[in-house]
Amino acid sequence: MAHADLGEPVAGTEDPDTGFSVPAGARPQATLRRLVGPDVDGFAARHWGREPLVRTGAGENGFPDLLDLDGVDELLSRRGLRTPFLRLARDGAVLDSSAFTGGGGVGAEIGDQVRDDKVAALFGDGSTIVLQGLHRTWPAIADLAVSLTDELGHPVQANAYITPPSSQGFSAHYDVHDVFVLQLAGRKHWTVHAPVHEAPLRGQPWAERAEAVAARARDDAPVLDRVLEPGDVLYLPRGWLHSATALGDVSAHLTIGVHVVTRYALVEALADLVASDERLRTSLPLGVDVAEPADLAADLDVVRATLAEALTTVTADDVARHVRARVWPGGRPEPVGPIAAARFAHELTPGDTVRRRHGLRHRLQETGDGRIALELADRRITLPSATAEALRAALDGQPWRVGSLPGLPEADQLVLVRRLLREGVLVACTP
């Protein structure tokens, strides 16, 4: 299956002040341009996190290079999906998974595997199919997620919704993440209303405001009332109310959820960083009545003063370290074939070409003890500082031939590259 227009990484350098790996130029934007059009700056200024956007004709006859109805059938019938990679919904309610799962037969007795025959029956009766986590189960969408995460700087996920003719899967609701909706097949009528709660955080789901959501959808005129055709894209910031109904035939759309990093993440980082102050870990008095304001007043004054003092000592580097530890694990870099990767590393010779793994979040920093640290989402690799120049080159996003990396003799380049291949940092660069 083709993976056209998914973008490529660009060369990067290290910021001399923070040590962060930053692009040498602007972020690549091929994937984002495919979704929102060529005016990415206009999208960023007028729509990102602010208001919806509809782009017609972004794909030709849908997005067949990403997913089509034949691909949906393959996932449901031949890929051995298990919960929670599938949900079914009808009349706004999610069905219990026991209605469409069971054992896989001899040698595959695990009891929560998707039963294609049961799914077919429920779909025929009007249930909407929700394929969850497609960025982990379908190669073209995994590639899309890696590329879009790189371009946005925010982790993304992908689900597909396949709705029977003239059916509605979910009633009006809002999401706590931004979404790009890609119409894959059929037509779907979308109704979008203004938020009842602006920019909700992840702990503020729509169910907490169900009455206000229902009233807004019932009583107010929609901001958007549109039919999406195959190839159309709809962008919705978090908090915007929406519902969709299939028209005339089976309808399928792909929802790319953007788990935006907000300023509140910086607040949480500050709170966690200053909480280590001993004065903030002190117990409240014996016999305190936490419901009585007067009992808390003196300690609250101490907390205010301590926070004000401690906040002045927190640096941007402290906050960045904390935030990246929470954000980086939310996105996965491009898949690596374990067998092929191990074989390539074992047989590595001068002249072989490698590159940084697409979507790999990383940071380089001198440790001050003759070592250099490569920080990844889940671990920290330390190497001799003599490898620094070659390491920076290998991580710049461009293909490098083993033997041409700067600052190291060829034999040491082989050792370094083989280590980075086995750590999943570099991959073979193939045509």
Query: Which tens digits make up the pLDDT trace of 358-383?
Result: 999 999 999 888 899 999 999 999 99
* Domain membership flag for residue 1: no
- Both 302 and 395 in one domain: the answer is no
Domain region containing 241:
12-258
The pLDDT tens digits of the residues spanning 324-333 come to 999 999 999 9
Q: In which band, very low, low, confident or very high, does the pLDDT at 170 lie, cut at 50, 70 and 90?
A: confident
Place of tokens 């067949």: 64
- Which burial class, exposed, middle or buried, applies to 13 when counting CB atoms under 10 A from its CB (0-12, 13-18, 19+)? exposed
**What mean pLDDT is reported for the chain?**
91
Give pLDDT, residue 431. Answer: 64
CATH code for position 32: 2.60.120.650
What letter does residue 154 receive in the DSSP assignment? Answer: S
- The answer to whether the CB of 53 falls within 8 A of the CB of 234 is yes
Instruction: Assess whether pLDDT exceeds 60 at residue 222.
Output: yes
* 27 pLDDT tier (thresholds 50, 70, 90): low
Task: Place 28 in a pLDDT band, splitting at 50, 70 and 90.
Answer: low
> Do 272 and 149 belong together in one domain?
no
Q: What is the pLDDT of residue 277?
A: 86
134 closest CA partner among 162, 100, 105: 162
Domain identity same for 354 and 236: no
297 occurs within a structural domain: yes
Total number of domains constituting the chain:
3
Asked if 322 and 416 sit in the same domain, the reply is no
Q: Is residue 203 part of a domain?
A: yes
CATH code of residue 387: 3.90.930.40
The stretch 100-124 carries a mean pLDDT of: 93
d(CA 431, CA 429): 7
* Predicted local confidence at residue 21, as pLDDT: 32
Check pLDDT > 50 for residue 9: no
Residues 247 and 323 in one domain: no
Instruction: Indicate whether 333 belongs to any domain.
Output: no
